Amino acid sequence: MCGRFVSTTPPEELASYFGAQPPSTEAALAPEYNVAPTTDVYAVFEDGSTRVLAPFHWGLVPFWAKDPSIGNRMINARADGLATKNAYRNAFKRRRCLVPADGFYEWRAVTGQKTKQPYFIHRRDDEPLAFAGLWETWTPKGGDGTDRLRSTTIITTDANETMAPIHDRMPVVLPPSAWDRWLDPDYHDVAALGSLLVPAPPQLLTVHPVSTDVGNVNNRGPHLIDPLPADRVLGGDADRA
């Protein structure tokens, strides 16, 4: 799964990296070391013929939802159910996006302890990750369109060899060679699209343990991604880093 991540790269740099139009100054998000569900996150999508970087609510709200609270439990979408589940199948065909991240957090259960050990996972070359995502637009019943909500979800798949010791699932990370096809709203071959939703190559990512401070959404400083000293790793399992 993916329940927390880091987004600190300036929007102008992200837009350039993804070949997208940047958000306006008014719409730009603040750098965040502890991005949590139901907050706004950046997503890259195709708006007509233009690729755009813009803020989206994290937690997919289908167009048919009675209220946006349904998005609270739709921050992630399993890759193996996108083509059949009512909440995702339309977006999978027509409204796909990329969710940029500098890295993400995952927690490993520790034998004999209630507290889990968090880890920070990021690219070895420190370039942005491109999570595969879906997006939707929701308008309240009786609304006039000015109060519409754009929301997104991050797609997950089985863990690769790097992630498996920590968690059995991970976000889908799409390589640049897949971006054009994934973002094209006129490309509807769900079988071909599904073939893109595989675990990232193990050598792409690196992992290290971090402070349990990341478990509190009120903690937001850059120290959250600092490697944890071996003598402070829960369970003494620093070798997983």
CA dist list (Å): 160 to 10, 201, 204: 29, 7, 10
C-alpha–C-alpha distance, residues 221 and 215, integer Å: 13
HEC per residue, 145-165: CCCCEEEEEEEEEECCCCCCC
Rg from Cα positions in the chain: 18
**Catalytic hit among 2, 46, 97, 136:** 2
Structural element, H or E, at residue 176: helix 176-183
C-alpha–C-alpha distance, residues 204 and 222, integer Å: 23
**Catalytic hit among 46, 97, 106, 136:** 106
Contacts of 11 (CB under 8 A, 6+ apart): 22, 23, 28, 29, 42, 53
C-alpha–C-alpha distance, residues 131 and 128, integer Å: 9
- 106 is an active site residue: yes
C-alpha–C-alpha distance, residues 95 and 153, integer Å: 11
- 2 is an active site residue: yes
Asked if 241 and 209 touch (Cβ cutoff 8 Å), the reply is: yes
Residue 161 burial by CB count (10 A; 0-12/13-18/19+): exposed, middle or buried? exposed
Any idea which residues carry the catalytic annotation?
2, 106
